[in-house]
Amino acid sequence: MQLVNRPTVGSLPVAPQGSIVLSIEDLSKAYGRGKQRFEAVRQVSLTLHRGEVLAFLGPNGAGKTTTIKMIAGLVRPDRGQVTIAGEDPHRHARALRHLGAVLEGNRNLYWRLTPEENLEYFGVLRQMPRKIAHRRGLELLDRFELLDKRNTPVQKLSRGMQQKVAIAVALIHDPQLLLLDEPTLGLDVEAGETVKALVREIAQEGRAILLTTHQLDVAEELSDRVAIIRRGQIIAEQSTEALLQEFSDSTYQIEVEGTLTVAQTQQVAQLGAIVEGPHITYAGTPENLYALLAALQPLPIFSVQRDRADLTQVFLKLVQDTQDANP
Ligand SMILES: Nc1ncnc2c1ncn2[C@@H]1O[C@H](COP(=O)(O)OP(=O)(O)OP(=O)(O)O)[C@@H](O)[C@H]1O
Ligand SMILES: [Mg+2]
């Protein structure tokens, strides 16, 4: 490993750009015994690089939280391996110093303590000297625009503020990997936007983020890559952009101002387009698209748009298809 010129975030060195922060290999976990035995996670493998946001998606009960708990060292896998920044948290608890997690709501906070006290407390718990934990806590509160609330007990803060404090606490020891379970659930539009902006910023600092959410628009906006899990198995894993491209078809919606002449309508129909007043739908070759646009002259063109799948459509299709294949 190269030790010189490593970029730093805050005080701790982080892995070089593009390097693997998390790798899980063939993770499996069954709950119960005998007839009650249930395989919640089956041979799941994933890698997560520095600066990358991976959206880990799946229907209820698919195995997301179980996988996350195995990564966080809270549930022991039956098989497989977790490696965080080169260390296995199930063998060496010190691997957890690379990891911060906000699991299921705000349970990583003490509600009667203030944000400042929570940050210091969890910093010390993470083996930081009290003074340093306190200083870094204040820096995080400043950055999350919570300095004026630093002495208010967490239970008196709004949900959005509590969520920001929970993320700050997860970052107190400067981890390379952040696990976020439903970070925007129950937040209003503005608080949701703030948390999304923070997630983006945290990734830009070079941390790797594993994000679970049922809000697929949030996943689409934030993630570089998507992994979809269903009944304990990964059914798709790809860059978000490639996945959306793959499911987007080459249909164009063209809008003009005014009405097409009869001759224009015929010409356009010959190229395979469907005309409904000023709306034209075209699904053909790119060359013919130019011919079509030429045929519309001199009508002003209002817009040309390519239909694009969104992550919700992709998700439903993938989950449905695998269900049909393995009912
Ligand atoms: N402690 C447990 N004991 C027995 N079964 C469990 C336990 N924890 C989870 N399960 C089961 O394992 C499966 C996966 O659960 P998990 O919580 O990992 O799903 P999830 O993908 O996080 O779902 P959700 O989207 O609803 O949060 C479910 O069938 C669940 O009932
Ligand atoms: Mg869950």
Domain with CATH 3.30.70.1150 in the chain: 249-306
12 has a pLDDT exceeding 60 = no
Whole-model pTM: value is 0.82
Q: What is the mean pLDDT of the chain?
A: 89
Q: Is 61 in the pocket of ligand 1 (CB under 6 A)?
A: yes
* pLDDT tens digits, one per residue of 170-226: 999 999 999 999 888 888 888 889 889 999 999 999 999 999 999 999 999 999 999
**Nearest CA residue ID for atom 24, ligand 1:** 60
Atom of ligand 1 nearest to the CA of 59: 25
Distance from residue 58's CA to the centre of ligand 1 (Å):
12
Which atom number of ligand 1 is nearest to the Cα of residue 32?
4
**In the chain, ranges of CATH 3.40.50.300 domains:** 8-109+174-245
Statement: 8-109+174-245 belongs to CATH 3.30.1740.10: no
Q: What is the pLDDT of residues 125-183, one digit of tens each?
A: 999 999 999 999 999 999 899 999 999 999 999 988 998 999 999 999 999 999 999 88
List pLDDT tens digits, range 271-324: 989 899 899 999 878 788 999 999 999 999 999 988 888 899 889 988 887 777
pLDDT, tens digit (0-9, with 9 covering 90-100), for 238-255: 999 999 888 887 789 999
Provide the phi-psi class of 80: left if phi over 0, else alpha when psi is between -120 and 50, else beta. left
Angstrom distance (rounded) from CA 272 to CA 158: 55
What is the structure's pLDDT at 327? 66
| Domain 249-306: CATH superfamily, name plus number | ACT-like. Chain A, domain 2 (3.30.70.1150)
Quick check: 165 and 118 in contact, CB under 8 A? Answer: yes
